Amino acid sequence: MVSVDVVAVRFAVTEATPSVAIIRRDREPFAGELALPGVLLGRGERLYDAALRAITGKVGLPPEHIRGVGQLATFDEPLRDPRGPTLSLSMWAVVDPAAPVDTASWFAFGQVPHLAFDHGPILEVARAALAGLLWRDRTFTRAILGEEFSTARALALAEALSGSRPDRGNLNRMLRSMPGLQQAEAAVRSGGPGRPYQPWVWT
Amino acid sequence: MVSVDVVAVRFAVTEATPSVAIIRRDREPFAGELALPGVLLGRGERLYDAALRAITGKVGLPPEHIRGVGQLATFDEPLRDPRGPTLSLSMWAVVDPAAPVDTASWFAFGQVPHLAFDHGPILEVARAALAGLLWRDRTFTRAILGEEFSTARALALAEALSGSRPDRGNLNRMLRSMPGLQQAEAAVRSGGPGRPYQPWVWT
DNA sequence: ACAATAGTGTCTTTAAGACATTATGCG
DNA sequence: CGCATAATGTCTTAAAGACACTATTGT
């Protein structure tokens, strides 16, 4: 038996940090407990499709709100599932924060409660892996930050994934030197006090 | 069905470059063709144990000659196996070059002939992944270079994995600054002409 | 004016690339 | 000696860290 477990993240402009989809299990084992959304891999099914199925089925989001999917690692501890030995192929996914209501709870990294199975360790591995993908993997970076983003959001994202907050000026310099990324001319007022920001836009 | 396919590498002092174990399949599908050593994952079996089983069974090496094992990636193309949809969990392994006779053919990266299944692409992914592990993953690096190695061998290894040969002086400088690695006092004559080398030893 | 936020500039440190120079062996 | 191989030193460039300074808004 092979399950595909998904670390689905979103980063809404209305939220200070990215968050992860956690669902309450409605079936045994661990019925009623919290876990990552996951499905059993169907025969001949692709990992990408299984991840989509986990998000649409367990989180309740239509597939067009999924902006990126990728592999993480395989967890093979034989006792990880009380039903018997099961492999977990873990995947990451980025979903559109402007998505309709869903059936998941969303937690910031680091505030996720205890999870069923070995999903706690899986989540930790995922966070470290995503920290490595940020800025290096254009697909992931663009998916989670969106088409236009402020340096402040880039700062918050990097801090949430890596655990330490980069220097604002240094991050700006890095973004400036990044191919395929440009700084908009027009400044945008954020609403509160402070200087307006110049959004970063992908080309 | 889940298969575990192993990219088993060794780097003998008698060889100029590292090489990969390739076996000739004795069963369908692709009987008689070349492929990576692989086994079907048993129920409740750990990936590490399956990789060991592939090496002992298909390559014919005793398990004590295996110096390191790790995960690579999952290949899920439904048509990759003519028997029907099969997942391939690919792994790397490093085997002791001072091993007894085995039943595999050993090819240098880049000189491997056409392989059955999707093992060609898997091997390419593996090579890139191992290039990333070199110097960063102490376990892999120590396993493939051995307890004592010359800068010349480090150069050859880096070139074989990454495709480009680093500068000798720069590599020496990097090794000098690497924690857990020391340069032996006594120089070793290599046999041929040229200045003796000071081996690098792990601490 | 002042606090809050954003952007820019600069000095320093570190890592890496390129390449010359010196050292030690074999024939 | 001449050639092959190894080690070291140096100049330069690129990237990153730390931090000061300026700019623009809301109250």
Task: Establish whether the CB of B193 is closer than 7 Å to any nucleic acid atom in strand D.
Answer: yes
The residue in chain B having the minimum alpha-carbon distance to the alpha carbon of residue A84 is B44
Q: Which of A148, A134, A65, A71 is nearest to B125 (CA)?
A: A71
Kindly state whether residue A84 falls inside one of the protein's structural domains. Answer: yes
Which residue of A5, A43, A71, A74 is the best one to mutate when testing the B interface, meaning the one whose CB has the most B CBs within 10 A?
A: A74
Q: How confident is the model at residue B101 (pLDDT cuts 50, 70, 90)?
A: confident
Q: Is the pTM of this model over 0.85?
A: yes
Given A46, A71, A78, which is nearest B44 (Cβ)? A78
pLDDT in tens, A11-62: 999 999 999 999 999 998 999 999 999 999 999 999 999 999 999 999 999 9
How far lies B64's CA from each of A9, B47, B97, B101, B105, in Å? 42, 17, 12, 14, 20
Please tell me whether residues A172 and A115 are part of one structural domain: no
pLDDT in tens, B117-147: 999 999 999 999 999 999 999 999 999 999 9
Q: What is the pLDDT of residue A160?
A: 98
Given B46, B84, B85, which is nearest A76 (Cβ)? B46
Distance of C1' in C6 from CA in A106, Å: 29
Task: Establish whether the CB of A196 is closer than 7 Å to any nucleic acid atom in strand D.
Answer: yes
pLDDT in tens, A142-160: 999 999 999 999 999 999 9
Kindly state whether residue A10 falls inside one of the protein's structural domains. Answer: yes
Kindly state whether residue B167 falls inside one of the protein's structural domains. Answer: yes
Distance of C1' in D22 from CA in A139, Å: 35
- Contact assessment for residue A88 and residue A117, using Cβ atoms and an 8 Å cutoff: yes
Q: Say how many domains are in chain B.
A: 2
Chain D nucleotides near the protein (CB, 7 A): 2-10, 15-20, 23-27
Please tell me whether residues A166 and A87 are part of one structural domain: no
Element (H or E) spanning B107, and its range?
A: strand B105-108
Give me the phi and psi of A41, to 5 degrees please. -70, 125
Kindly state whether residue B73 falls inside one of the protein's structural domains. Answer: yes
Please tell me whether residues B194 and B122 are part of one structural domain: no
Task: Establish whether the CB of A191 is closer than 7 Å to any nucleic acid atom in strand C.
Answer: no
B106: domain CATH number is 3.90.79.10
- DSSP letters, chain A, are -EEEEEEEEE--TTSSS-EEEEEE--SSSSTTSEE--EEEPPTT--HHHHHHHHIIIII---GGGEEEEEEEEEE--TTSSTTS--EEEEEEEEE-TT----SSEEEETT-----STTHHHHHHHHHHHHHHHTTT-HHHHHHHH-SEE-HHHHHHHHHHHHSSPPPHHHHHHHHHTSTTEEE-SS-B--SSSS--B--EEE-
Task: Establish whether the CB of A134 is closer than 7 Å to any nucleic acid atom in strand D.
Answer: no
Which residues of A fall within a CB distance of 8 Å from B71?
A: 73-74
Q: In this complex, is the C-beta atom of A87 within 8 Å of any C-beta atom belonging to chain B?
A: yes
Examine residue B29 and say whether the peptide bond preceding it is cis (omega within 30 degrees of 0): yes
Contact at CB, A46 and B73, closer than 8 angstroms = no
Q: How confident is the model at residue B100 (pLDDT cuts 50, 70, 90)?
A: confident
Ramachandran area for residue A117 (φ above 0: left; ψ -120 to 50: alpha; else beta): left
- Rounded to whole angstroms, the Cα distance separating A119 from B135 reads 30
Q: In which residue are the tokens 């919290």 written?
A: A34
In chain A the first and final C-alpha atoms are separated, in Å, by 43
Contact at CB, A46 and B74, closer than 8 angstroms = no
Please tell me whether residues B109 and B196 are part of one structural domain: no
Kindly state whether residue B139 falls inside one of the protein's structural domains. Answer: no
- Contact assessment for residue B73 and residue A71, using Cβ atoms and an 8 Å cutoff: yes
Please tell me whether residues B182 and B120 are part of one structural domain: no
Given a cut of 90, whether residue A68 has pLDDT beyond it is yes
**Token pair in block for residue B36:** 């990576």
- HSE of B200, CA atoms in CB hemisphere, 13 A: 22
Q: In this complex, is the C-beta atom of B2 within 8 Å of any C-beta atom belonging to chain A?
A: yes
3-state secondary structure of B113: coil
Kindly state whether residue A140 falls inside one of the protein's structural domains. Answer: no
Contact at CB, B43 and A85, closer than 8 angstroms = yes
Given a cut of 90, whether residue B179 has pLDDT beyond it is yes
Contact at CB, B47 and A84, closer than 8 angstroms = no
- Contact assessment for residue B17 and residue B112, using Cβ atoms and an 8 Å cutoff: no
Q: How confident is the model at residue A103 (pLDDT cuts 50, 70, 90)?
A: very high
Average pLDDT over every residue of B189-200:
94
Q: Which of B176, B167, B165 is nearest to B201 (CA)?
A: B176
How many angstroms away from the CA of B101 is the closest CA of chain A? 32
- Rounded to whole angstroms, the Cα distance separating A179 from A162 reads 22
Q: What is the pLDDT of residue B190?
A: 85
Give me the phi and psi of B21, to 5 degrees please. -80, 125
Q: In this complex, is the C-beta atom of B78 within 8 Å of any C-beta atom belonging to chain A?
A: yes
Please tell me whether residues B126 and B152 are part of one structural domain: no
Task: Establish whether the CB of B192 is closer than 7 Å to any nucleic acid atom in strand D.
Answer: yes
Please tell me whether residues B62 and B149 are part of one structural domain: no
Task: Establish whether the CB of B71 is closer than 7 Å to any nucleic acid atom in strand D.
Answer: no
**Token pair in block for residue B149:** 């190695």
**Full residue range of the structural domain in which residue A126 is found:** 2-133
**Token pair in block for residue A143:** 């998916």
Q: What is the pLDDT of residue B188?
A: 95
**Token pair in block for residue B97:** 């070059």
